[in-house]
Structure 1
């Protein structure tokens, strides 16, 4: 067993000084981006092992505070944790380096799949692609179940979840989601109960109040201004950027919740077909890194210009940009914000609504586009069994389901 002195001997001077160069931050997160399978919950575990236990870049208290903060923010939770760690370790450049390292591997793989998808479709490999849709069904079903157990542990929150699902199915994805989130926030504040005790916030979070306000103003300004600018300019690239920025600003509850929001943006507009969307979502389960890089796949195959690599870069930057601004705004203010019980009760309601939104997506488009006969049902349930109870990694379940459709589909 290594002693503390041995551990310190194996760490670089930058590590012991509490600062790392952006290049070093990039390399550490690049390795995580290449190996972090299993989704956001697994990513949080990988980060803890890497930065708390192995490298000792931050302590357990700091890490717990960062994770708690990112649960309150819309956007990709694990990526936001990475951005915050990079900000703590290497400043603003470190935050950018952390995001690039963790995001690039999955984005590149999905761009490659987008080009390969056209070849597969031309080669009449529809059964293989159908297997990706069935695997996506299993992944979303598991997300609904696990998130429901965490966020809907009582009758009040379960009622909010089911009500949200009904609103989304009956009103449509975009308007239904907005109404569900607003209603859940109000009901949560008024009626839900949350623990009164809040651990004392760690001092020393980076950034000043002025920087926080600048980031918050930029976030709100882009959220409100981009759609107006896209409408006035009548430019596809600006419309694409505004749409993906809006999605990145509204996703509460983790990566899987991005599915209904993105589907509501790219499929009805004709940018991406329903089959392309679900095939890409299935492929996104089989690779490491954040699920939000699904935007890269959609940017490549989007109808209109830009698409291809330029479209992938535009969509990926747009969907992650809100996370940078929100983390920059929240880090200096986190201690004050989470002391308000009304804020925590509102977030409890929003988290319950997120479960309902994902439940609605499980029905449409996932189930309605994937399950057409008894064989599809059996394969989807088998995939869910492997994923949820046998604890098989998601990439292996995706691969097995796709191969099974070739044999039995």
Structure 2
């Protein structure tokens, strides 16, 4: 693989531009990368961009972050790749950590009330339903995939444990890999030269974090391990992250309430940069039990960001060196269908699990439906929809407070 040398500051300046202006999800992100990094700067060719993005899509972890890191690796080697990772995630991490601190402060001032988020909580369900529709449309193409999706949705709903998700993904991949004969043949070369350093780094960090978390019980270390494990299992982008995080941090560990989770997810839809930044929000709120105040929230936001983003980066650096040969094996390509179908099923379960604690009244159902139809049939950017919901919610809370007062 050819590594092209460019001036670090120039590439990093373009990455920071993306990190503060890339609103609108993966489609908008790709369009901006194509415009800035391919057409304007010529860091890589358009064909190379699509190849790298396709590779990142089939690996666990945040696709946009892996794409940025992979381009950085191509144009400047490992050092530039890690610097671009840091620059890309930092603005969203700061914003979402600050959002968690603000949400906690506002709840303290209103005796635990989240009335200011009254509108954006059901709106978050609308975003998830819209994301599920788009994801299923792209990933579920066959009857077998549809059956796997429905089965995984059933299992994820009735056996809601973070430890069952990895087994579901493996089972889905094995199921579809058995029908590899339907995949077109590509000439295979015997022997793939694999460099194991980054894979061993990925596995070593996971084992070390799990061991330290188990024996020390230190909350930041446990948070890092929790997010690192989740970041190693997520296929399908930021929307698929939702069932994992909701199950582990709301249902299983009760670090957050369902209302707090929905508030954070809604806010994350209006923030530029990687959608995995919701992890910083969850990590910051999870640190409340440590009693460290704002400092603890900042620590929680940073370690959670490190945990969620690092495994995907290690894995892309591992696979990118031999992917051209690996993808020629039909069972490998066939397994992706099952993995993606299971991810879609978990996303369906997440939408229902998030709605379940919410009162099934006219207001909530109308807010979900209106949000979905705005996303589906208008060109209003997501940040404006979220900002509108926050403004209306704050106005509602002020009105209620004045009425009571």
| TM more than 0.5 | yes
Q: 2:266 maps to what in 1?
A: 282
Query: Aligned-pair distance for 1:195?
Result: 4.2
Instruction: Identify the residue that residue 401 of structure 2 maps to in structure 1.
Output: none
Counterpart position of 1:104: 90
When the two structures are aligned, how many residues end up with a matched partner? Answer: 385
* Aligned 1:16-165 pairs, distance under 5 A: 18-124=4-110, 126-165=114-153
Distance change in 2, residues 1:402/1:373 (3 Å): farther
For structure 1, which runs of at least 5 residues remain unmatched after alignment?
A: 1-16, 202-207
Instruction: Determine the C-alpha separation between the residues in 2 that align with 1:292 and 1:198.
Output: 35
CA distance in 2 between partners of 1:231 and 1:179 (Å): 22
Aligned equivalents of 2:148, 2:179: Cα separation in 1: 11
For residues 85 and 393 of structure 1, the distance between their equivalents in structure 2, rounded to whole angstroms, comes to 27
Matched residue, 2:302? 313
Name the residue aligned to 2:210. Answer: 227
Shift, 1:227, TM fit: 2.0
Match of 1:273 among 257, 261, 266: 257
In structure 2, the CA distance between the partners of 1:374 and 1:152, relative to structure 1 (3 Å rule), is same
Match runs of 1:241-280 below 5 Å: 241-267=224-250, 268-280=252-264
Identify the residue that residue 402 of structure 2 maps to in structure 1: none
Q: Which moved more, 1:152-161 or 1:225-234?
A: 225-234
SS in 1 for 2:119: helix
Helix, strand or coil for the counterpart of 2:307?
helix
Confirm or deny that 1:238 pairs with 2:238.
no
User: Offset of 1:224 from its aligned partner?
Assistant: 3.8
RMSD of aligned C-alpha atoms? 2.4
Structure 2: 5+ residue stretches without partners: 398-405
Q: Which moved more, 1:163-172 or 1:98-107?
A: 98-107
Q: What is the SS of the residue equivalent to 2:162?
A: helix
For residues 233 and 269 of structure 1, what CA distance do their matches in structure 2 show?
A: 18
Q: Which residue of structure 2 lines up, in the alignment, with residue 9 of structure 1?
A: none
Structure 2 residue 276 is the aligned partner of structure 1 residue 292? yes
Q: Distance in 2 between matches of 1:358 and 1:328?
A: 27
Contact 2:148 2:342 in 1 (8 A): yes
Asked if structure 2 preserves the Cα contact closer than 8 Å seen for 1:258 and 1:292, the reply is: yes
Separation in structure 1 between the aligned mates of residue 22 and residue 75 of structure 2, nearest angstrom: 20
Check the 8 A contact 2:125/2:355 in 1, yes or no.
yes
* 2:188/2:329 contact within 8 Å kept: no
Q: 2:316 — aligned with what?
A: 327
Report deviation, 1:132: 2.1
Query: Taking structure 1 as reference, are residues 194 and 128 closer, same or farther at Cα in structure 2, changes over 3 Å only?
Result: farther
Contact map agreement 2:186 2:329 (CA 8 A) in 1: no
Paired position in structure 2 for 1:3? none
Aligned mates of 2:114, 2:23 — CA distance in 1: 26
Report SS of the residue matched to 1:250. coil
